[in-house]
Structure formats: structure tokens, C-alpha cells
Amino acid sequence: MKYKILFAVAVIFSLVLCFHPVLAQDAEETKNNFEVKVDLGAHWTDWDKYRGKVGEYEVLDRGILPDVGIDIKGFTNRKFLELQGFYYHEDDLYLSTDIDLNRILREEFSYFRMPHFLEHDPLKNLNAVFRNPAGDPVPPVNEFTDLDAGSEYMIRYSTLKSKTTFRLPFLPGSEVFFDYRKEQRQGHRQAITISKCSSCHVVSQGREIDEYTEDLNPGFKAKFGNEKSGWLTVSYDYLKRRFGETGADPRNSYNPAVHPATGLPVFTSRVQYENDNLPYNVVPSSEKDTHTIKAHGQLPTVATDVFTSYVNSTTKNTHVGNTYDLNSFIGRITNTLVPGLALSGKFRWMDIDNDDVFVQVTEQPPLAGPEAGLTYSEVHPDFNPEFYRKSAMNRKVYETEISAKYRLIKHLTLRGVFVWRSTDRDYYEVEAGETKTDEYTARVGLSFRKAKLYGNINYEHQEIDDPFANPGAACNPSGTNVPGATAFTGLQYFQFYNMRQLTLSNLPDKKDQVSASATWAVSPYVSLSGYYRYINESNDFDWDREAHMPSISLLYSPSRQLNFTLSYLYNYLKTNSLICEPVFTG
């Protein structure tokens, strides 16, 4: 492969040399320009132990190897050509071209290829052991099998991009474009699976990677009006994205679900698969269609700028047919009619709808034990393993922002922002019976800028009604242990988890933040900067956090090519949170 690439570069270079006299003659007649630059070099590499630590994204073949770069630029009349390329290795190369014909048709093309070396986890840390009362080690309860031991994993990553633009001569500022992009990832990586009911047996093997992501993106942009009376641009683009994985899925042979001591099939009702060879680490293919419409205009007579954007997007999992729909609208208006004052208003709306999924399980009765012949739901009628998964992503979001900036005096500017954001989820509750979160944010700041000194100070306050939380996340009532219980007579997992009572969250419902920074240009070569940030946040779920972050830095730059920086940063962070450690034997 590398010899083919070297040959192609040599051919291009030879053609350039052949045509150079003609182009040079044309350049003399039209007083245009043509340049060719070729870089020839060599590199030497050696390394010890694991090469990925020092070259995760580099080819480090041992020995002395050549590399070559090429740069061609030329224009004649109203035509322009630029070609750049660099070859380091067959897995590490770059090529780009830029062609412009009469300022009407432009083609930009690039190809990039690089490696990504991945680590191979030997899994030896899973060889855990216990000690008996005498202190002697007993056989491990965890075991692992690496079916691909000693193998090196690597992904070859490549990107091809093409951007074709046709400018409309009869409508200045308008254009039609067609963009194309394709990413490919090929190689192998480590895929890990565990046994069917716990992590007592971990299996690892190489997973073949043959993925692609392909984007087709046509669209247009039209401009009307002029800078004096006002102008409006309208654009539309369509994105068709395809993702696919054609590499073979790894498979694993899962053992029968038997009692670890007696070997009897007493736990069959508690697993969905056993004694079978099944695929895992399956990567689904998908498709995405996105329509984007934008409008941007300015009215100089009233010093007003208006921008709107609407996005409609649908993503489909082509393996199972589930879809994800997104609709979003953004509108912004800015006015600077009053001297020294800039007012801006912004509105944003978003609606996300994700398909519900019916989760169906395979229930099978055990062949032995006290529950022989009965499925788990027959033994425990209050437990239903099948359900509809209602997506927590389903939501409607409304956001309004009002901001102002006013120059108080020549070197001092005052800024203020108020933001209201409401998130209403269709299904997910953040409190009992409550799916809505309202956020109110206010910010005010002062900035000072003079010849050698500039800085700013800002204060922000947030109030959040019902922040995102996990209802019934932890803490069970006392007395849940059942003395002498077995897996069949004791408290079941679903019963234990259903007892959880407290809602927990690490997101605040009240937050205060102060930040300040200043820079003093002592001389053209020396500057001194300082920064401080303070955060205090808390919520109603026994969680709070406080942080102090001061820093100072000194910069000395004796020349444009040389500079020295001395910095000190102190970070103090203290978090208080409720932690529940459940004690459970069942």
C-alpha cells in the first residue's frame, strides 16, 4: 500500500514538473503566480514496553523510514489551485485540494488517515480470593478467560470530505452547496462480557471493527437587500447520515444456570439465557434525517439584528425500527439604537419524542429445587418482569433570555442577564408526581478595560424548582434482614429495592457564584494576571458544595518565539452528601 502512495506522489510531482514551464509561461503573460514545494525527510523511531503510552495515535515502526510532503499553489486569471499532502506511513497520511473557478465554482477535498492503538486489559485483577478463618487463601470466586491473550488492538481511522459550492452570479451573496463526508473505522478492539447472572466469570475477546459514518449534506443560501437599507439571508440544508457496522459480532458460550455447590438446575427461573452460544457487543446501525432552516436579517435604520432557526430531525435505529424525533426553534433579536446600550432577547423551544419500547423477557421454570416447575412471576405474583419502557428523554423545553450591556463611562461596562428555563418531562418524575423543572438565573457583571489594566467581576444567582433527581434512590427501613434466609425464603431483590424511600440528587436548587479576574500589562514583555472564583450550592436532599479557586500567573515574553509562564492555582472543594450503605442478606 505504501509503495502505491509513494508512486502516486511521484506521478503528481512529475506532472507538475512537466506542466510547470507552460504554467510559468502563462503566469508571465498574465502576471499570475505558480509555486511548487516538496519536502523530503526521514524519521527514526524506537521504543520499549507498551508503545501505546507514548504513541496512541502515531505509527512507531522501528528503524529509519522516509516521509514526504508536497505543497502546490497556483492561480491564473480567475482560477485558483492548491494541493497539499503529507505521507508518513500508509496508516498516517493527509491530502487536500482547493480549486476555485472564476469565483463561481469551488471544490474543497481532503482525505486523512491515522491509527488509534488501544490497550488490552489482561483482566488479572479479577483473580480475587478470599481467606478462611485461619487466614489461608481459598479458590477465587471470580474467574476470567481471555480468548485473545497477547493480541494488540488497533483501529485505522480515515475521513474523506468534499465540499462543492456554486455561487449564483445573478444573486450576490447566494450559493448552492453539496457537502459529503465519510468516516471509516477498521480494526479490532477488546470486547468483554460477563456470565448470565453475575460477574463471577468474565470473558474477553477481540471484536472486529468495520464501521462507517456517511453524511450527505446539500443546501442553499440566498441573500436579499443591501447593507444600507437592510438585508436578509435565508438558508436551508438537509443532512442524511448513515451509520453501519459490518464487522462480525463476537459470540460467547454461556454455561448452564446451576447451583454452584450441588450442580442442580434450581435457578433457571432467574435467568433469561443459559447453556447457549450467543452474540454480544452488538452495534446497531442507524439513519438520521435533519432539516435546518435559518433566517438572519439586519435593519440599519432601527439598529436591529434578527436571527431565527428551526430544526427537524429524526433518528432511526434500523436494527429494531425505533425512532427519535427532535423539533427545535430559536429566535434572537438585538437592538443598539440607544448609544452605549445593547439590548437582546432570545427564545428557545425544543420537543423530544422517543419511541416506547416493550421489554419482553423469557421466563422458564427450574427443573429442581423448591420452586421446580414454577416461573419467578408465578412464585412472586407481585413482580411483573415485562413492561413498557417510557423514555426519560421525552420532554418539552422552553427558555427565555433577556440581556443588556451598557457603557457607564469610557472604560467601564455594565452587563446583566436573566434566564428562565423550563423542562417538562413526559414520564420521568423528579419528585413524587412532579416531572417539571424550572430554573431562574440572574447574572450581573462589571468590566473595566484601559491601556495596561483590564478586568471584570461577575455575580450569578440561581433558583431551581425540582432539579433533576432520582426518586426513591436509597435508604431502606431497618429490619430488612431475614435471619437464616435462603435465596428462596429470604427477601427478594425487587422487594428490597422497592423499600427505598429517599430521593437523592447532586444538582443544586440554589446556587451563588462570584468570579473576578484582572490583568496588568507591566510592560510590553511582562504581564501579571489574577483570578478568583467562589461557588456555594445546595439542595433539599442533604447535599451541598462549596468551592474556592484563586490563581495568579506571571508571563514574561522576551520575543515572539519565546515566553515563560509562572502560575499558582489553589483549589478548595468541600462536598457534603447523604450516603446510605444497604445491608442485605436474602
CB-CB contact of 480 with 500 (8 Å): no
The Cα–Cα gap between 375 and 384 comes to 11
Return the sign of the alpha-carbon dihedral for residues 25, 28, 34, 36.
positive
What Rg value do the Cα atoms of the chain yield, rounded?
Answer: 32
Check residue 171 and give its pLDDT: 87
The Cα–Cα gap between 169 and 6 comes to 41
Check residue 132 and give its pLDDT: 67
Q: What is the pLDDT of residues 121-172, one digit of tens each?
A: 988 877 666 666 776 766 656 778 899 998 989 999 999 999 999 999 888 8
Distances (CA, A) of 199 to 72, 193, 269, 488: 58, 9, 18, 21
Q: What is the pLDDT of residues 23-70, one digit of tens each?
A: 444 444 445 788 999 999 999 988 887 777 788 888 888 889 999 999
CB-CB contact of 113 with 158 (8 Å): yes
Check residue 582 and give its pLDDT: 63
CB-CB contact of 279 with 249 (8 Å): yes
Check residue 137 and give its pLDDT: 66
Check residue 10 and give its pLDDT: 44
Check residue 28 and give its pLDDT: 44
DSSP 277-314: EEE-S----EEEEEEEEEEEEEEGGGTEEEEEEEEEEE
Check residue 495 and give its pLDDT: 86
376 CB-contact burial (10 Å; exposed 0-12 / middle 13-18 / buried 19+): buried
The Cα–Cα gap between 9 and 400 comes to 55
The 10 Å Cβ neighbour count of residue 446 is: 15
Query: Quick one: which H or E segment has residue 81?
Result: strand 79-89
Phi, psi of 373 (to 5 degrees): 85, 0
Check residue 506 and give its pLDDT: 92
In the chain, which stretches have pLDDT less than 70? 1-31, 127-132, 135, 137-141, 198, 478-481, 581-586
